[in-house]
Structure 1
Amino acid sequence: MSTSGRTALLLIGFQNDYFAKDGILHAVIEESSRVSGVLKNTLNLLDNSAEVFDLVVSTPIHFTDDYAELEEPVGILRTIKEVGAFRAGKSGAETIPELKPYADIITEVPGKRGLNAFSNTHLEELLRSNDIEHLILAGTVTSICIDSTGRHAADLGFKVTVLSDCTSSRTIFEQDFYCENVFPLYGSVRNSSTLIEAT
């Protein structure tokens, strides 16, 4: 893989409430996910290049039944509470079944309660303890969790790459806008096929 330093693949939001057809928030990302091929391309990346990553991490978001963690939430977090998404112990909060075959290579980091995968988790500690220098992001939602996690990672000194075909957003326009205009401000944007070809 033509990346510098030890590298981790970070999987964000691959949960049933987003990706299952009956998921509470499936409609939010459905069109963008279909166009980018986020799930198919991420699985293809894992099939062909998982062994070249020094670490593969998943950071699912979970809330208690009463959403006590969210005090006066706004925006997407308010929506999540109102519609009852990502409740711990419910099927919608579970990791999508398509990732189960890779369970032995994925390290799950619990505790995510908001937009940033570093917040309320031991993600930074895990990356530092494995001498990770480069973080590659895949998942959803591009304009929310991917962006906030990428910005924070850059602030912490990690090199950041967002995979344009392994992420999805609320609209096709939003996906393209972030990949073309926002992510290049603090990281790089690549297609997963370029990673696979480099292995």
Structure 2
Amino acid sequence: MIDMVPFFVEESGYCRGILPNIIRLADALRTAGGTVTWVVPGSDQPNPGLAREFFGDEIAEVFRTSGGAGPISERVWAGLFPQEQDLYFEKSAYSAFFPGSSNLPGDLRANGIDTVIITGTLTNICCESSARDAYACGFRVIFVADGTAARRDQDHNATLHSIYRSFGDVRPTDEVVSLLSA
């Protein structure tokens, strides 16, 4: 579950629209004995000067602090009901799987996990980047079409096409829940 923090959820009706699907997927994954992971944007950026150069000081600071502060489990949108047994990660790049961005890939491997189900926001930025890098790192990728959200339909749909063509499987929530319960 990528970047489901107040900064994104409060800003976007699309993002609020996927909340029920993410809750269903998290519940189904826990019931099936899977591991739910929550990934939030970190404030430490590897190249802050590039962000300031590209976005300007004010917008770069807004993005740098978009993940909030405090314990990671408390930065996830509360309405998603994160659980104590879930895993929590902070990332320093758009992708949670980019080398050095987070401990997520290593922790998943250490737990014997070889398949990731991608949900969250934004579809075409952090979710797509994470799916591409997860695939490049050797993970099977399932990208949830109605469990990810972008700011525009055309951005969302373009990512779904790219993922399906080259990086993983794209399925709706109902199908993923059915697979988990099989």
TM range (shorter): 0.7 to 0.9
- In structure 2, distance between residues paired with 1:167 and 1:68: 26
User: Does structure 1 conserve the Cα–Cα contact (< 8 Å) formed by 2:43 and 2:92?
Assistant: yes
2:49 partner amino acid: E
Q: Cα gap change, 1:177/1:32 in structure 2, threshold over 3 Å: closer, same or farther?
A: farther
Q: In the TM superposition, what are the counterparts of 1:136-151 in structure 2 within 5 Å?
A: 136-151=117-132
> In structure 2, what is the equivalent of residue 60 of structure 1?
40
- SS of 1:12's equivalent in the other structure is coil
* 1:117 alignment partner AA: A
Question: Aligned residue for 2:21?
Answer: 41
CA shift in 2, pair 1:156/1:48, >3 Å: closer
TM-score with structure 2 setting the length: 0.82
Opposite residue 2 of structure 2, the aligned amino acid is I
- 2-side partners of 1:80 and 1:192: how far apart? 34
Give the superposition deviation at 1:144.
0.4
Residue 114 of structure 1 and its aligned partner are, at CA, apart by 1.9
Per the TM alignment, residue 49 of structure 1 is displaced from its structure 2 partner at its CA by: 4.1
The answer on whether the counterparts of 1:31 and 1:172 sit within 8 Å (CA) in structure 2 is no
Partner residue of 1:117? 96
Which residues of 2 match residues 106-185 of structure 1 at below 5 A?
106-110=86-90, 112-119=91-98, 120-179=101-160, 181-184=161-164, 185=166
Alpha-carbon RMSD across the aligned residues, in angstroms, is: 2.7
Check if 1:71 corresponds to 2:52. no
Residue 164 of structure 1 contacts residue 190 of structure 1 at CA under 8 Å; is this kept in 2?
yes
3-state SS in 1 of match to 2:36: strand
What percent identity do the matched residue pairs reach? 22
Separation of aligned partners in 2, 1:126 and 1:190:
25
Report if the CA contact (8 A) 2:46-2:92 is conserved.
Answer: no
Farther off after superposition, 182-191 or 41-50: 41-50
- Counterpart-to-counterpart distance in 1, 2:79 and 2:50: 34
Q: 1:178 to 1:51 in 2, by over 3 A?
A: same
Correspondence list, 1:78-89, <5 A: 79-82=59-62, 85-89=66-70
- Give, in angstroms, the shift of residue 106 of structure 1: 1.4
Displacement of 1:85: 2.9
Alignment coverage as a number of residue pairs: 172
What amino acid maps onto 2:97 in structure 1? F
Contact residue 69 and residue 113 of structure 1 kept, 8 A: no
Deviations 1:86-134 (A, max 9, x none): 34249xx82111133x322311023x12201124211111011011111
The structure in which a higher percent of residues are helix is 2
